[in-house]
Amino acid sequence: MGNTRTHQRPVGRRITPQRAQFRRLAESADIGTVTRAQLAVLAQSLTCTGLINGTESHLLVALINTVPAESFDKPGRPIVFKSNQQLAFEIGRSIGRVSRMLSSLFDAGLITMQDSGNYKRYPIRNGNGEITDGCGIDLRILIVRYAELDELVRQVRAEKKAADAALRRYRGALRNARYALSTAAELSKQVLDRIGSRIERVSDFVGAAGKGSSGMLRRATAILEWLVERLMQLPRRSAEVSETNNMTCPHVENGMHKQITTPHPFDEGNQERRSANAEQLSSPEAGSASKWAFEESLRRGRGEINQPRRLPQAMVALQDVLRAVPALKTYGFAPTSWADLARAVPLMCRFAGISEDARARPGAGRAADVPVCRDLRGCPRPRGRADGRAASRRRRRRDT
């Protein structure tokens, strides 16, 4: 008789370093942060990423729905103890196919598995009946990787949306280019043949547009749109940009804004500006200085301090200004905003006889409010207080 040969039965599934890493990662799951419904929706969406196929997604959804919803709460343990035979019956596949798909999900890091020596799946409970461990299909790895997988799904969907938009624009640009080539009659036949060969070269380079990347489709679309502009004999884009680059305020100064120190800009009272009530950033450095040493605006005489307070000036509406100055409509000025009125100031000064130099001179804002005479020889000289005193002295000398 020959020697009998015994075959050792392998215990559990083959363990690789990657699977061991997934098991260690599953132990750090924070139960209660993700619900069962969120995992089910994620399992259905993973097919668009190419990580799993439709049948594996169906099996993963069946595993998630098998676990009670309470198992994804804080004290729960989301582990599936169904056999491969029962899972094969539920998804309509063979037992061997289910076993291979479980291995694929394990390799993808979507589940972890702990098999027993006799290939049975069972829970291990404590004295209170709670599941502390077990041999089965563990879904805690999905809780750990939920944020990563959800972001992957969002990114793939965004890329697909951008690719579809680029594909539609490319097909429209190609159709417009061919139509413009057939209707262009002002160009010579040699130019039309050259542009037509370029259009076909772009089309041949792209090939099947549905399989091209979004970046390549965008570059091809830009070339086709440029060829259409050549066929339509439109001006170059650089010339258009230089013509339309119109600034509303060409003489704007890029100065630094100076923050006011008082929180009451329209109130000129002394109480709000006193250093005793205002915030002083350098008050420790002032020591025992008097309250007049903090601000320069308070170094005034008592006569100025005791003067009656001036009320803040109210803002005037633009319509009131237009009604008060009917000459604006006479000269054809009808501003609809303060910005229009400010832009019309140079022309208004020109009508009033104010020169450009006088308007641009510092402090000329008050003088520009009243029109001046074009010819100073025809205007009477205003008499001031000094002229009046000189005239009275001359009269006293004449009387004596």
**Is residue 22 a contact partner of residue 141, using CB atoms and an 8 Å limit?**
yes
The reported pLDDT for the residue numbered 293 is: 45
The reported pLDDT for the residue numbered 280 is: 45
Please state, in angstroms and rounded to a whole number, the distance separating the CA atoms of residues 121 and 115.
Answer: 7
| Confidence at 374, pLDDT banded by 50, 70, 90 | very low
pLDDT, tens digit, 9 for 90 and up, residues 34-61: 999 999 999 999 999 999 999 999 999 9
Give mean pLDDT, residues 192-209: 89
Q: What rounded mean pLDDT belongs to the chain?
A: 75
- Does the pLDDT value for residue 376 go beyond 90? no
Burial class (CB in 10 A: 0-12, 13-18, 19+), 115: middle
Highest mean pLDDT among 2-11, 312-321, 331-340: 331-340
pLDDT, tens digit, 9 for 90 and up, residues 317-370: 878 888 888 777 777 777 888 888 888 888 778 777 787 777 777 655 444 444
Highest mean pLDDT among 55-64, 120-129, 246-255, 267-276: 55-64
Give mean pLDDT, residues 269-282: 46
Highest mean pLDDT among 268-282, 283-297, 348-362: 348-362
| Confidence at 256, pLDDT banded by 50, 70, 90 | low
Minimal CA–CA distance to 79: which of 43, 121, 46? Answer: 121
The reported pLDDT for the residue numbered 118 is: 66
Q: How many residues does the chain have?
A: 400
Burial class (CB in 10 A: 0-12, 13-18, 19+), 354: buried
CB-side exposure of 9: number of CA atoms within 13 Å? 6
- Does the pLDDT value for residue 78 go beyond 60? yes
The reported pLDDT for the residue numbered 12 is: 54
- Does the pLDDT value for residue 115 go beyond 70? yes
- Looking at residue 300, the DSSP 8-state letter turns out to be -
Give mean pLDDT, residues 54-73: 92
- Does the pLDDT value for residue 7 go beyond 50? no
**Is residue 354 a contact partner of residue 368, using CB atoms and an 8 Å limit?**
yes
pLDDT, tens digit, 9 for 90 and up, residues 87-111: 999 999 999 999 999 999 999 999 9
Minimal CA–CA distance to 224: which of 204, 203, 253? Answer: 203
More confident: 122 or 282: 122
- Does the pLDDT value for residue 296 go beyond 80? no
User: What is the DSSP track for 89-139?
Assistant: HHHT--HHHHHHHHHHHHHTTS-EE---TTS--EEEE-TTS-EEEEESEE-
More confident: 229 or 362: 229
Give mean pLDDT, residues 177-204: 87
**Is residue 174 a contact partner of residue 227, using CB atoms and an 8 Å limit?**
no
What per-residue string of b and e applies to 289-317 under the rule 16 or more CB within 10 Å gives b? eeeeebeeeeeeeeeeeeeeeeeeeeeee
Residues 6+ apart with CB under 8 A from 46: 52, 57, 60, 110, 149, 153
The reported pLDDT for the residue numbered 283 is: 43
**Is residue 36 a contact partner of residue 69, using CB atoms and an 8 Å limit?**
yes
More confident: 355 or 63: 63
